[in-house]
Amino acid sequence: MSETRDVILSTIRQSLRRGPIYGEARAALEERIRSHPRHLIPSRAGQPPAALIDLFIAKARAASTSVVEVSDRGEIPQAVMDYLANENLPARLVQAPGLHDLDWAAAPTVEVRMGAAEKADEASLSKGLAGVAETGTLLLVSGPENPTTLNFVPPTHLVVLFRNDVVPAYEDAWDLLRVNGTNPRSANFITGPSRTGDIEQKIQIGVHGPLRLHLILVGR
Amino acid sequence: MNHTSDRFIDNSRAALANPVLQAALANLKRGFPINRAEVVADLPEFEELRNVARDIKDHTLDHLDVYLEIYERNVRASGGKVHWARNAKEARDTIMRICRDAGARTVTKGKSMVVEEIGLNEALDASEIRRVETDLGEYIIQLRDEPPSHIIVPAVHVTKEEIGDAFREAHEGLDPTRALSEPADITAEARTRLREAYFSAEVGITGANFLVAESGSSIIVTNEGNGDLTQTLARTHVVVASLEKIVPTMEDAFAILRLLARSSTGQEFSVYTSVSNGPKRSDDLDGPKAYHVVLVDNGRSSMLGTNQQDMLRCIQCAACINHCPVYSAVGGHAYGWIYPGPMGAVLTPSLTNIAASAHLPNASTFCGQCEQVCPMKIPLIKMMRHHRNSAHQQGHGGKVSKFALFFWSYFAGRPALYRTLTGIGVGVLAALAIGRGRLKSLPLVGGWTANRDLPAPEGGTFLTRYRRGER
Amino acid sequence: MKQIGPEPGTVPPIRVGLFVTCLVDFFRPSVGFATIKLLEQAGCKVEVPEIQTCCGQPAYNSGDPATARAVVLAWLDAFQDFDHVVVPSGSCGGMLSHHVPELFADDPVNGPRAKRLSERTHELTEFLVDVLRADLVPVHRGGAVTYHDSCAGLRELGVKQQPRGLLAKVRGLELHEMAEPEVCCGFGGTFCVKYSDISNAMVTNKIRDAEASGGDTVLAGDLGCLLNMAGKASREGSPLAFRHVAEALAGVDDIPPIAGTGVRQ
């Protein structure tokens, strides 16, 4: 295999009419990676915080994400219960372990299991690491606290996001991960429920991933 | 897959005579381009971002070896394995070996053009392994045993009635009374069937929209979520990607991502942009146990440093296809290989050979709509012209047109003779058209008069009349 | 008649070489005469070098740059002394102003010559509006027209507003935009003969859009597109008439349109 690799790399260098890059030139490329400079960020991401939240909510809704706002985390269980009831869905869900301290006493009818999603799960609740205002996009990151299957397997996906975690641009969301020093197995940027236009280009919601994406935005 | 680009003219005639296809193509023209125009108008920085994206890819391609090495190092650091393949056969063999080593009985697949390119589908279908396409469009054409006709909506040529029929034939135990007449019914049925596959597959194969050197990440962009279920639920995740998918950093990827969905489907951002880094971690509750990347060259390293290098900036958004009047007339199958439209007219001759695909770069009016919408600013017309030059040099230009060109150049280079001849020509055509103002047929230009009249010349050439003092 | 150029006797008039194009020479001399009229009204001194044939585009686009260079060299010789070269075609204009320098990029002698002349070469409406900033002599030419944006003029030269701005000053003329005026008509030089069926599908759409526009006469800046569209309309029995934009701007009405009557039944 390493022989194949070397053949490909040397063909690349031959085509580019140069040898391997060493020394300062190589260091400059490594430095570009280390400093990962930002490029042009759209001006819509440069608005003041209150306007950014409005932009985030408007863009999320435009992508068919339903959004409800609650003032603190104590209100989350009630919001979940109300949503499931309004949508005529069974009061059952699988919850991200990272949300283990939610007090479900306020929503006693909801049956909660903790863990990764399984085939039969009908709804899931997970926590977003960030919300990206420029396109109403959620960032969810894998780990024992937040299994990836919660984002894709159940037909209904509820996401808890704190207002403070709404950031202007994708780069800001990614920087939150860099600051943590984590390199999670999976990072999912999600903008609305699953959809397809593969049948006569008529948009259908909910083909493989969730049919419903519901955002509970927490905080004042 | 079969390469029928040499039969482009016959293929296109069949396509023009197919009313179902024509209806689908008319539909396509009314969809993506209109959505694109709206979201582009809503992002004032769009034009500047095109320059940014072009520069990122140019920088990356100029240092491709270095970034591939860094990428490989970082994939290994996160517990994944990188395989290199020089050509389609090496890529197929490597992937088949990974599948067998993983004990695969069922393989789920996300949509990937390079996987089509290397002929993996045929290899899987010839083996004991069950292949399940999970992109809805790919699933439909798998059931119909057809190649894709568009790089982002592969079943764009199929009607919902045909899909319903294909499902009834293929889905065992399907209730015959179940309605499959509307897209929503079909989508629900596909969801149920494919769910079984996701949970039973030992290996999930996806492509990649980007490989990020900085972190050793692969990124896939989908709307359906099929790629995520494919790569999350199987025990082994295999990423197949061509070399040029690499970018140095996440910032580079995001800059281009701002253009991708807008240019492609006309969405601001696709529903799922998913970044994968290696196999599941020790404390993860889900995710694949093994993570492989197969890096496919298949002719790309030889395009570097040539007049075809710019094509390696392509992010396969299909904007050029969606805006091409030739594609819009004949659809994807006419092009005879995997990549249709302007991007195919440039890429196919480079990845296969010009002898078999000389029609593709020639079958363009050079109207330039493709270049106008290409988010990566690929000079598609110039590159088609380069292919025309190669075809001409190698004698694939067609005998009649070669003769006509010689004839034309002989007179165009001799102004006096040219004037005499055009003077005679005008007289002859005017005589033939006398009293009607038009000609219904004319030798040598049967291609013109088959479908159109030739308006008769006004009378006398301009140069003759001008010399006589007319103003 | 109002003099639009500089005051006579103050500055020498701009010397313009008219490159008439082979299609105009052969099929539609009136476009050439209309062009001369427009340029002279704008104060230019127009000359027509006899040594002119073609812009070289057929060879250039057929993969034969060597032949194209030979043809373009004749153009260079014939036109190099003019202040400007004006072409009543976006396609030939694009070839001469944009592609010629590339064609001679590796030629140390003719490369710089080609570049200098290409920089002074313009499509007619672009020259009138962007270079001369000319106010046309008012003409009356009644009727409902629609305008097809020929591809090369539009995308290589940015010809879009110039003809529309000039047409807006023609008295009695109403412009009815068609759906997708920027979509190719299917001419494409040798394309329309080599890939005749595809070209036919494209021109069929174009005629449909033009007919639905409410205009009776289709105007365009390129004779190739006009012959293609007119030939199709004629075959279909469409009443649409076709004229080069220069004819409309110069108020030409003593010569029948390229096809059709412009009169709906």
Task: Confirm whether B346 is domain-assigned.
Answer: no
pLDDT surpasses 60 at C9: no
Number of domains in chain B: 2
User: How many contacts, defined by CB atoms under 8 Å, are there between A and B?
Assistant: 256
**Is position B95 within any domain?**
yes
In a domain, C86, yes or no: yes
Domain end call among C108, C130, C152: C130
Q: Write the pLDDT tens digit of every residue in C183-221.
A: 999 999 989 999 999 999 999 999 999 999 999 999 999
Are B77 and B279 in contact by the 8 Å Cβ rule? The answer is no
Last residue of a domain, one of B248, B265, B296: B296
Shared-domain flag, residues C52 and C118: yes
Q: For the residues of B137-200, what is the DSSP string, one character each? A: HHHHHHHHT---SSSSSTTTT--HHHHHHHHHHHSTT--TTS---SHHHHHHHHHHHHHHHHHH
- Write out pLDDT tens, residues C39-64: 999 999 999 999 898 999 999 999 99
From C130, C156, C187, give the residue that closes a domain.
C130
Query: 3-state class of B209 per DSSP?
Result: coil
Q: Is residue C21 part of a domain?
A: yes
Within chain A, all domains assigned CATH 3.40.50.10420 are found at: 49-218
Q: Do A36 and B251 touch (CB under 8 A)?
A: yes
Domain assignment present for B379:
no
Contact flag for C and B (3+ C-beta pairs < 8 Å) = yes
Residue B358 belongs to some domain of the structure:
no
A171 contacts: CB under 8 Å, gap ≥ 6: A38, A41, B250, B251, B254
CATH code for the domain of B232: 3.40.50.10420
**Domain identity same for B145 and B288:** yes
Residue C232 maps to a domain: yes
Cβ <8 Å between C56 and B412: yes
Give the right CATH number for A49-218 from 3.40.50.300, 3.40.50.10420, 3.40.30.10, 2.40.110.10: 3.40.50.10420
What domain count does chain C have? 2
pLDDT recorded at residue C5:
54
All chains having 3 or more CB pairs closer than 8 angstroms to chain C: B
Whether residues B445 and C193 touch (CB distance < 8 A) is answered with: yes
Give me the average pLDDT of each 10-residue run along chain A (220 residues): 89 98 97 97 95 97 98 96 97 97 95 96 97 98 96 98 97 91 90 93 91 96
Residue of A nearest to B194 (CA): A208
Any domain includes C198:
yes
What pLDDT, on a 0 to 100 scale, did the predictor assign at position B244? 98
Determine what percent of chain C is predicted with pLDDT higher than 70.
94
Nearest CA of chain B to the CA of C133: how many Å? 24
Range of weakest confidence among A176-185, C105-114, C168-177: A176-185
% helix / strand / coil in chain B, to the nearest 5?
55, 10, 35
Residue B442 lies in a domain: yes
- The one-letter amino acid at B13: R
How far is residue A130 from each of residues A41, A169, B332, measured CA to CA in Å?
17, 10, 40
Helices (H), ranges, B201-296: 226-233, 250-264
Task: Mark yes or no for CB contact B285/A188 under 8 Å.
Answer: no
pLDDT of residue B432: 81
Domain membership flag for residue C113: yes
Q: What pLDDT score was predicted for residue C265? A: 47
Estimate the crossing angle of helix B399-412 against helix B415-432, to 10 degrees.
120
Q: Are residues B59 and B199 in the same domain?
A: yes
The confidence score (pLDDT) of residue B218 equals: 98
> What is the pLDDT at residue B373?
98
CB atoms within 10 A of CB C193: 19
CB contact under 8 A, A42 and B45: yes
Domain around C158 = 139-250
Q: Choose the final residue of a domain: B296, B320, B352.
A: B296
Question: Is B334 within the bounds of a domain?
Answer: no
Q: Which residues of chain B have pLDDT under 70?
A: 1, 397-403, 443-444
The rounded mean pLDDT for chain B is 93
C121 and C173 inside one domain: no
Residue range(s) defining the domain that contains residue B136: 43-296
Q: Do C155 and B409 touch (CB under 8 A)?
A: no
Of C130, C153, C188, which residue constitutes the final position of a domain? Answer: C130
- The mean of the pLDDT values for chain C is 93
For residue C171, what is the domain's CATH number?
3.40.50.11810
Which chain B residues are within 8 Å of C228, Cβ to Cβ?
452
Same domain, B147 and B282: yes
User: Does C263 reside within a domain?
Assistant: no
Close Cβ partners of B439 (under 8 Å, ≥ 6 residues apart): B429, B432, B433, B449, B453, B454, B456
| Two structure tokens written together for B437 | 């103002």
Asked if residue B118 is part of any domain, the answer here is yes
Q: Other CB atoms closer than 10 Å to residue C247's CB: what's the count?
A: 26
Domain end residue (candidates: B266, B296, B326): B296
Check whether residue C52 and residue C110 sit in a common domain.
yes
Residue C76: name the closest of C60, C94, C56 by CA: C56
A48, amino acid identity: P
Q: What is the DSSP letter of B123?
A: H
Q: Are residues B277 and B129 in the same domain?
A: yes
**How far apart, in whole angstroms, are the C-alpha atoms of residue B205 and residue B234?**
9
C68, C69, C73, C76 alpha-carbon torsion, rounded to 10°: 80
Mutate to test the interface with A, among B286, B293, B321 (most CBs of A within 10 A): B286
CATH assignment of the domain containing C34: 3.40.50
Chain C residues 205-264 with a CB less than 8 Å from chain B? 227-228, 230-232, 234-235, 255-256, 258-259
Order of all β-strands in the sheet with A156-162: A66-70, A212-218, A156-162, A123-127, A92-95, A111-114
